[in-house]
């Protein structure tokens, strides 16, 4: 595992993780959300490359203006030692999920937001750009335009189990009125085909109930599917709703057979609007593994 660390904290980080399988990489980081701030890594002709989505700080809103550390992707060759490939539009890593076989799921609320791409940018234009990266099928969800900061990242409620099959997080809680957009997005997933021409199989996972949430602020994002699939393990959050936590753990164990499932208490991370997936960015190796 690689841990990006600002220069002034590198000595402390090396001492903290001495003897563990953690490589400290000095980098000008000033936030924790590596899924967006760092580049997305991919394979091109057996070579690892870094895709620079031109991340602009989630649209540089009043709540969270853009920062210098948002541009880590520009330093991909210096920090990660791999070539950088820049796209001609703006996107957030958390707004894009893929099956690795040509299917991409994203949201209009984020990628088509004028604070990412000009109002004149069209869905068809962006699909043509995605096609240059190998995405032959783009599935557009509506997303949540009211979501603070991210404008509706799909990685908060959709996760590929494997090509042709996804998990989708739903609200089943008397204390929460399920937003119309969430129901509509899941219905969209249930009636679309992937890049291979298959109808997507959708398994619904129930979100933790509000009465168990530790925090009630607007940013709090208690979601199971914002999870990280590491080598041999699945890492996600638990939120004190014993019944729903266990349901999610069983669903992950069944969906990703052979991987151990670790559920961590991440309330303070979720209070910032994200989860485990938001904190991480996998980097493949030429041998097919990841770092």
Average pLDDT estimate for 74-101 = 96
Mean pLDDT of the chain: 95
- The residue from 110, 223, 257, 278 that is catalytic is 278
107-116 as b/e: b if 16+ CB within 10 A: bbbbbbbeeb
pTM of the model: 0.94
**Closest to 138 measured CA to CA, from 130, 149, 146:** 130
Helix (H) or strand (E) holding 40: strand 40-44
3-state secondary structure (DSSP) of residue 119 = coil
Average pLDDT estimate for 108-136 = 96
What are the C-alpha distances in Å from 237 to residues 233, 246, 249, 267, 288?
13, 11, 10, 8, 27
Inform me whether the pLDDT recorded for 286 exceeds 70: no
Residue 37 structure tokens: 């701030």
278 catalytic per annotation: yes
Burial of 138 from C-beta contacts in 10 A (0-12 / 13-18 / 19+):
buried
Average pLDDT estimate for 235-260 = 98
What are the C-alpha distances in Å from 112 to residues 133, 162, 252?
18, 27, 31
pLDDT recorded at residue 27: 94
Inform me whether the pLDDT recorded for 291 exceeds 70: no
Average pLDDT estimate for 188-197 = 98
Distance CA 219, CA 126 (A): 29
Chain segment 33-63, per-residue pLDDT in tens: 999 999 999 999 889 999 999 999 999 998 8
CB 40 within 8 A of CB 277: no
Sheet holding 233-238, edge to edge: 228-230, 233-238, 260-265
3-state secondary structure (DSSP) of residue 257 = coil
Average pLDDT estimate for 61-87 = 93
Sheet holding 40-44, edge to edge: 40-44, 47-52, 84-86
β-pairing, 47-52 with 40-44? antiparallel
Domain boundaries, the chain: 1-30, 31-279
pLDDT recorded at residue 30: 92
Average pLDDT estimate for 91-106 = 97
Inform me whether the pLDDT recorded for 288 exceeds 60: no
Going by pLDDT thresholds of 50, 70 and 90, the confidence category of residue 86 is very high
Residue 38 structure tokens: 């760092």
Place of tokens 């303070």: 268
Going by pLDDT thresholds of 50, 70 and 90, the confidence category of residue 217 is confident
pLDDT recorded at residue 218: 87
DSSP 46-104: TEEEEEE----STTT-SSS---GGGGGGGGHHHHH-S-EEE-SS---GGG-EE-SSSEE
Average pLDDT estimate for 183-209 = 98
Chain segment 127-145, per-residue pLDDT in tens: 999 999 999 999 999 999 9
Chain segment 157-170, per-residue pLDDT in tens: 999 999 999 999 99
Going by pLDDT thresholds of 50, 70 and 90, the confidence category of residue 289 is low
Q: What is the CATH number of domain 31-279?
A: 3.75.10.10
Centre a 10 Å sphere on the Cβ of residue 228 and count the other Cβ atoms it contains.
18
Residue 242 structure tokens: 């014993």
**Closest to 99 measured CA to CA, from 48, 147, 154:** 154
């Amino acid at each position: 595992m690689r841990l990006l660390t600002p220069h002034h904290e590198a000595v402390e980080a090396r001492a903290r993780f001495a003897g563990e399988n953690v490589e400290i990489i000095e980098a000008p980081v000033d936030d924790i959300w590596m899924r967006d701030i760092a580049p997305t890594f991919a394979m091109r002709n057996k070579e690892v490359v870094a895709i620079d989505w031109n991340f602009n700080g989630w649209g540089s809103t009043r709540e969270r203006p853009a920062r210098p550390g948002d541009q880590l992707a520009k330093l991909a060759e210096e920090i990660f030692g791999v070539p950088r490939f820049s796209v001609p539009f703006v996107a957030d890593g958390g707004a894009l999920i893929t099956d690795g076989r040509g299917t991409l799921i994203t949201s209009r609320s984020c990628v088509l937001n004028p604070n990412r791409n000009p109002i004149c940018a069209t869905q068809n234009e962006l699909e043509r750009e995605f096609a240059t990266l190998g995405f032959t099928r783009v599935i557009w969800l509506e997303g949540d335009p009211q979501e603070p900061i991210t404008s509706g990242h799909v990685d908060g409620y959709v996760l590929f189990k494997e090509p042709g099959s996804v998990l989708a997080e739903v609200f089943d809680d008397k204390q929460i009125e399920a937003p119309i957009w969430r129901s509509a997005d899941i219905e969209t997933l249930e009636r679309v085909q992937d890049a291979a021409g298959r109808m997507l199989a959708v398994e619904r996972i129930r979100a933790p109930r509000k009465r168990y949430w530790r925090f009630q602020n607007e940013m709090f994002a208690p979601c199971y599917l914002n999870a990280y699939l590491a080598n041999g393990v699945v890492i996600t959050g638990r939120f004190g709703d014993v019944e729903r936590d266990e349901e999610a753990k069983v669903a992950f164990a069944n969906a990703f057979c052979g991987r151990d499932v670790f559920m961590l208490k991440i309330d303070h991370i979720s209070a910032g609007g994200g989860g485990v997936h938001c904190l991480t960015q996998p980097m493949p190796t030429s041998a097919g593994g990841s770092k």
